[in-house]
Amino acid sequence: MTFDYDLFVIGAGPGGLAAAKKAASYGARVAVAEQEAIGGTCVNRGCVPKKLIVYAADFALRDRIVHNYGWNQCQRHFDWTIFMKSVHQHVEHINDSYCEQLQKAGIELIWERATFVDAHTLDLDGRKVTADKVLISVGGKPNKPKIPGIEYAITSREMFHLPYLPKRLVIIGGGYIGTEFSSMMHALGCDVTAIEVDEMILSGFDDDVRSGVQQSLSKRGIRFIFNNTVEKITLSEDSLLLTTTGKSQKPIAADTILVAIGYSPNTKNLGLEKAGIELDEQGAIKVDEYCCTTQENIFAVGDCINRIQLTPTAKAEGIAFANTVFGNKPQKLNYDHVPSAVFSRPEAASVGMTEAKAREKFGESVQCYRTNFQPLLYALTTEEQPNMMKLVVDSASGQVLGAHMVGEHAADIIQSLGVAIRKGITKEDLDDTIGIHPTIAEECLS
């Protein structure tokens, strides 16, 4: 049978784009369908605009210590509207760059929603196309609890389109998205309250990372309410009111409510059943170790499968898929040493096993090395900005199982350590390495 395309990609997020370009480099005829902006969540309503807000907030935090370095204090005003205009312009520039890359690679970009007719046929608003192989890269969508008044709350999608900074922001959820927005919006002048169902923020991270970030944010004035869920949201004359399950019966007032309780696979209404594609209990597409679905010619990568919801992971999955299917180089990913970061202030990052996970596997053989230190930047100030570095080690072999950090440049430092840990570095190897002084990174060698 002759097909219109060798590969048809549904979704122009990081995984889909990486797969399309790699497959095209092997000579495949490729098309990509996207119904929203190219680049997916990360570029348009996630990592990129969020990190730019982090940078904007950093100026506010630095203002508190500039006089210690001889700079005269002066009054400055932050204009949210002007700033967000610059953010959106930068995002548009990235969108245009992606379009140019696809064009140069000979990849057809189709601005339509694609749904399955059968395993090899897709419907594009009434037009049928066929493909030998299909890759699903449709990402995820923010979750919202099913409670009365939830229509008054927004998700991270809408945060980047707020017309003004809210005076009172309540964030439902203490994961990395909720924590990052808590940090940066408070620095920009919002009164922030975060509500979390757990006893600490950042579930899944090492406990020392969780407590370190939480304590620092609390000292800055961010209010945390733990072991709590929101029961309902009501609209009053001058605010939104949240009623929680906690001991206090007094409603929490807010101007804006952000729901940040995670993402679900965006797999509804794609006609997956027509193509014989099965989902798991969470609605994620079932795939094998090569990202192949229950239909042998259809694959899936990124947030729509039940692996790790991170942009670099989706890219790696997309490239591995193309290498396997079009490059005749079978490749499967190892998810054991995927680094992750929280771009709050203080910043946090981890790679490898947490202490708890390591003890589950290695028991009493686990030994942890932890150091707390004050960055040189704050030596001239009265502010306390404790940094923490922690190594989880198997004492029997000396191998470093995990590294965790809270503080400046945590993401960059852990990224570098990730390579070493993946290659089996030992604690002795780190001890024998000479560091650069004075830097924060040298603390992992002490």
What amino acid positions are annotated as catalytic residues? 437
16 is in an annotated binding site: no
Q: How far apart are the first and last CA of the chain?
A: 63
173 is in an annotated binding site: yes
Integer Rg of the chain from CA: 24
Angstrom CA distances, 253 to 111, 165, 167, 368, stand at 41, 16, 11, 43
CB 172 within 8 A of CB 153: yes
Q: Is the peptide bond before 148 cis (omega within 30 degrees of 0)?
A: no
| ∠ CA 348-352-354, rounded to 5° | 70
What proportions of the chain, in percent to the nearest 5, are helix, strand and coil? 35, 25, 40
Closest CA to 316 of 299, 337, 326, 301: 301
27 is in an annotated binding site: no
303 is in an annotated binding site: yes
- DSSP string of 96-159, one letter each residue: HHHHHHHHHTT-EEE-S-EEEEETTEEEETTEEEEEEEEEE---EEE-----TTGGG-B-HHHH
196 is in an annotated binding site: yes
Phi and psi, residue 314, nearest 5° = -60, -40
123 is in an annotated binding site: no
CA distance linking residue 196 with residue 225, whole number of Å: 6
180 is in an annotated binding site: yes
179 is in an annotated binding site: yes
Partners of 369 in beta bridges: 391
| Binding region for FAD | 51, 303
| Binding region for NAD(+) | 173-180, 196, 262
